[in-house]
A and B are shown apart, each in its own frame.
Chain A
Amino acid sequence: MANLWTGYVWPTAITVAEIIAIIVPVLVGVAYLTYAERKVIGAMQLRKGPNVIGPFGLFQPLADGAKLFFKETIFPNHASRGVFLVAPALTFFLAMVAWAVVPFDEGWVLANINVGVLYLFAISSLGVYGIIMAGWASNSKYGFLGAMRSAAQMVSYEVSIGFVMIAVLLCVGSLNLTDIVHAQEKGVWFIIPHLPLFIIFFISGLAETNRSPFDLPEGESELVAGYMVEYSSMPFAMFFLGEYANMILMSATITTLFLGGWLSPLPFAPFIWVPGVIWFVLKVCFLLFGFLWVRATMPRYRYDQLMRLGWKVFLPFSLVWLVLTAGVLEFGGLLPK
């Protein structure tokens, strides 16, 4: 009986507590990311943004959530009901499970697996299913067109994301995310030798999360709301949460790969007193501000230009950079281990 307690029940309870300790801050972050987005874009357009509910409009996300919760869930005619409901759930689920491998601080990671980078890549490549299924199951032309666009876009930009990841992995010699941060602790942050890759990864991240200027799958001016057009109430809210959680996740990935994860920017006295998790959150917020800034600044890309950028600019460049990195590491005697 004691064996059952120490062997199964207690570890399970600890893991569940850890999962809650990750999921709850992420969801709060998502709620306040929507608030930050409206405030930042408001400030950039000389407006005030939400400022009515609570002090400085701080309770606006709660009010939005409550509103969505009490709306009616509408099913379109001849919609494939099961798939229609599974799609937003899948999007939300995938946006949450990816957090399992993200190292927030030294040892602050739920699953310190050896193939962490591949896991993140696999989960982000699954994200496209939520969108395709939603577009198909809605039985709507706008939805379907949005889903088709999104599928092509996400598959295209995944390729350059993959090559960027490989170039970083070459410098580390491990697929473990904690090891990647440790490698940057010994050397320099990878943004310094790999600055072009950082830019490519950031732009591909915008495309992968369907953010402006690559928000063609939603494209209000032509597709109404793309794959989300038939969704209302909680299914819509789940898409929304999933999309914003993916933005935070993409920022966390960039932080880990290029900005040294939880490391402090200057490795001496006043800076190393600050806990690593605070540096991590600050870096993520910095990147998220970049996401919002781009949205307030850039006009939407045309679809053929989007494809050209992915396949004819980013893919060749990241491929050449990968070969270059391998060459420098091999002939400079810098290979890890």
Chain B
Amino acid sequence: MIQALVFYVFAAITVASGVMVISARNPVHAVLFLILAFFNAAGLFLLAGAEFLAMVLVVVYVGAVAVLFLFVVMMLDINFIKLREGFLQYLPIGGLVGLILLAELALVFGSWSFAPHAALSVATHVPDLHVVTNTDALGRLLFTHYFYLFQVAGLVLLVAMIGTILLTLRSRPGVKKQNIARQNARTKETSVELRKVPTRGGI
């Protein structure tokens, strides 16, 4: 009973903050509602018994991705009223995309019923969740059964990372940079010069 109650609280807040993301007037408030939605989704994961996924959702999405997102939105100079202008114009396309997504979700859920073996073929590698913990089970799946796929995913991320660095790297001339090794190698002899300055004479 309590579990159902908590589920409905989390679900209601998730949906409500999802609505607020697209209807908030201020983009920063929209991002903050997005973060609230993420956080409540983590709560839903926790209720489903997926504690590892819940924590990772908070660490990765809320703790890192959304921070950078918020960072960018705060720095941008956005005209709030102009942002609203095309709302009705884009409504049909947005609605269409939403409908397609809804239909696909329905198909995904439907496939459990019209392909009864689907669940079985997925479940073959899954260790017994009553014996091992959540984290352990995920680790075994990723690092043992799907090791190559995991490596490929890592490579894809590496390529994306290198691409990003390459796009933003530019060497600007005339920028003063500190070379720590050279800084530490400086001695009194090489950097300080004592001079006897004659009065009213200057150097």
Write the residues of chain A forming the contact surface with B, with a CB cutoff of 8 angstroms: 8, 80, 83, 113-115, 118-119, 121-122, 125-126, 128-129, 132-133, 136, 144, 148, 151, 155, 158, 175, 304-305, 308
Contact = CB atoms under 8 A, between A and B. Distances in A.
Nearest to A169: B135
B62 interface: yes
A122 B58 contact: yes
Given A175-B135, A308-B180, A118 B56 contact: yes
A129 B35 contact: yes
A155 B180 contact: no
24 contacts: A83-B28, A114-B134, A114-B135, A115-B51, A115-B52, A115-B55, A118-B52, A118-B55, A118-B59, A119-B55, A121-B55, A121-B59, A122-B55, A122-B63, A125-B63, A126-B63, A128-B67, A132-B71, A133-B32, A136-B28, A136-B74, A148-B71, A155-B68, A158-B63
Interface string B159-195: 0000000000000000000101000000000000000
Nearest to A121: B59
B70 to A, nearest CB: 6
A151 B51 contact: no
A83 B28 CA distance: 10
Nearest to A313: B180
B26 interface: yes
B145 interface: no
Contact of A125 (B28, B32, B58, B133): B58
Most chain A C-beta atoms within 10 Å of own C-beta, residue among B59, B133, B135, B180: B59
Contacts of B32: 83, 133
Contacts of B135: 114-115, 175
A155 B58 contact: no
B178 A83 contact: no
Nearest to B53: A115
A121 B2 CA distance: 28
A277 to B, nearest CB: 27
Interface in B55-95: 55-56, 58-59, 62-64, 67-68, 70-71, 74
Interface in B1-18: 2
Interface of B: 2, 26, 28-29, 32, 35, 51-52, 55-56, 58-59, 62-64, 67-68, 70-71, 74, 133-135, 178, 180
Most chain B C-beta atoms within 10 Å of own C-beta, residue among A121, A126, A148: A126
B58 A126 contact: yes
Given A115-B51, A115-B52, A129 B26 contact: no
B70 A132 contact: yes
Contacts of B134: 114-115
Nearest to B68: A155
Contacts of A144: 74
A133 B68 CA distance: 13
Contacts of B64: 125, 155, 158
B52 A132 contact: no
Given A125-B63, A158-B63, 12 more contacts: A80-B28, A80-B29, A114-B135, A115-B51, A115-B135, A122-B55, A129-B35, A129-B67, A129-B70, A132-B71, A136-B74, A151-B71
A155 B67 CA distance: 8
Contacts of B28: 80, 83, 136
B31 to A, nearest CB: 10
Given A114-B134, A115-B52, A151-B67, A304 B178 contact: yes
Contacts of A121: 55, 59
A305 B68 CA distance: 21
A148 B68 CA distance: 10
Contacts of A126: 58, 62-63
